Amino acid sequence: MSTEVEIKFVVKPEVKSQLATLLADYVIIEQAVKPLSNTYFDTTTSQFRQFDFGLRTRKSLNFAEQTIKTAGIVRGGLHQRPEYNLPLPGDVPTLADFPAEIWPNGTNIAQLQADLVDLFTTDFERTMWHIKLANDAEIEVVFDQGMARSGEQSYPICEIELELVCGDISDLFTLAQQITQLGNVRLGNVSKAKRGYQLAGLYTPKIKPLTLKVPTVAGQELKTERLTDIFLATLTQSYAHWQHHEQQYLETQDISALAEVDAAVALILQTMQSYAPILPDIDLSKAELVWLQQQLSAVSCAAQLHEVMLKNGQFMRKLPEYKRIGKELEALQTRYIDFSDIETLFNSPRYASIMLSVSQLLSQGLTSVKLDTANVIPFANTLLQKSWQSVLDSLLSAPELTLADYLGLQAKLKQNLLIGHCFSHHYRAERRDKFRLPWQDILQGIDDLAILQVLMDVAQQQPPAITVQIEKLITRKQRALLDALEQTRLQALTMRPYWLED
């Protein structure tokens, strides 16, 4: 058994020659080019996927092996998975050959063997460089290019993998940062196996809201109050959310996926800013995250327009000339955001370097920061109260708020809820959610008001007679929404903040 420690990149084909030039500056211990054919297996009931195992055969010139990869860790783009490699006597894996201790209790290996089916194949050319760094660390670099196939479906493979042979993980990241500067390089979090499951129709990635879960170890909730643990857990989950939706956006160009990327970056930046007073030595530039957030700034506007068209279809059909208004909204969306610019951003050296820097922080931890005895609750309480007081001072507790007042509160209320999100699993869920949910509803209501304002702006560009009709409908909807917001706000203001309990 061995444990791979590797970083994966999704790249464009032209990167291969640039990679070869970069690696020529190192001592090359070995270099080889060979064709590889992998076939991935599971049972008809996807038992291996339920185990979080990967089962494959690999064949090349005068070479054949069978491999099981067991559940591992993907943290911030660094992949660590135990794997078991054995000679392959035929075309189908022989499960009884693998060590008995790798199987979950009660596994019927004979039944698994009988139920095996091949799901998909990957055929690619692998170019490998085994290099030595100046400090004698050794890294295996591979460039894979080919195709994955399942039935009539296929997708191209073009990847770089860096595997640590000997040395420190920091050596892996040093080389990885150099590779990001080649351009057209993205950190990959989707394995060939997962892409194959998707190709075979057995896995469908979904857009999902950003939620933070209590960290777990061996399936059990990690009971910790160490600030470093919570900081890293928050960043790890936000980063995984970021990577998942980046890939989802590139595959579908769904603006909702891009909005989730924006949300994850915002939470990571807020977490960095929240912890800045007590984690001053974090080796990650907040300025770079601010730059990235600025690049994504138009996403929220485009997402608002998307919501107008997606969620307000029934309302829009009541508007005079609604088809023409719909076309104008689509045109306005393209002015807010150029989808080709987003793809260029995701493949840029600066973007890749930022992602890799976060990945390195998550993978190597905060060993230089001594906060093991610090208790998160007093720190979080102080931070939340300061932010909440700032919101209260911004008219939130006024007897009555106007539409403009609510729109003016949007940024501060969102920031307060983000800070609460950073520390959410340190408070009793019932009390926390009872307080947060009304304010989350209010923030959603403010977002809806902003959407209606976009519609109002478009309406005012129509002929005067039509403008009057549209404004009447929108104003009626705004008033109903404001009434609901006022009722919820006044009730929510009577609730004691959960961080002041106990």
> Is the model more confident about 104 or about 303?
104
Give the pLDDT band (50/70/90) at residue 219: very low
> Is the model more confident about 217 or about 480?
480
C-alpha 138/C-alpha 171 separation (Å) is 9
Distances (CA, A) of 87 to 41, 57, 68, 93, 115: 16, 9, 12, 9, 21
With pLDDT > 90 as the criterion, what percentage of the chain qualifies? 45
To the question of domain 2-199 being in CATH 3.40.50.720, the answer is no
Highest mean pLDDT among 23-27, 103-107, 207-211: 23-27
User: What's the pLDDT tens digit per position in 260-296?
Assistant: 999 999 999 988 888 877 766 666 678 899 999 888 8
Region of poorest pLDDT, from 440-444, 449-453, 461-465: 461-465
How do the domains of the chain map onto residue ranges?
A: 2-199, 216-500
> Residue 9's CB: how many other CB atoms inside 10 A?
24
Contact 188, 244 (CB under 8 A): no
Per-residue pLDDT, averaged over 74-79, amounts to 61
Distances (CA, A) of 96 to 24, 68, 101: 43, 12, 11
**What are the beta bridge partners of residue 126?**
34, 144
The predicted structure's pLDDT at residue 65: 95
Per-residue pLDDT, averaged over 453-459, amounts to 78
CATH of domain 216-500: 1.40.20.10
The predicted structure's pLDDT at residue 62: 85
Contact 76, 239 (CB under 8 A): yes
With pLDDT > 70 as the criterion, what percentage of the chain qualifies? 83
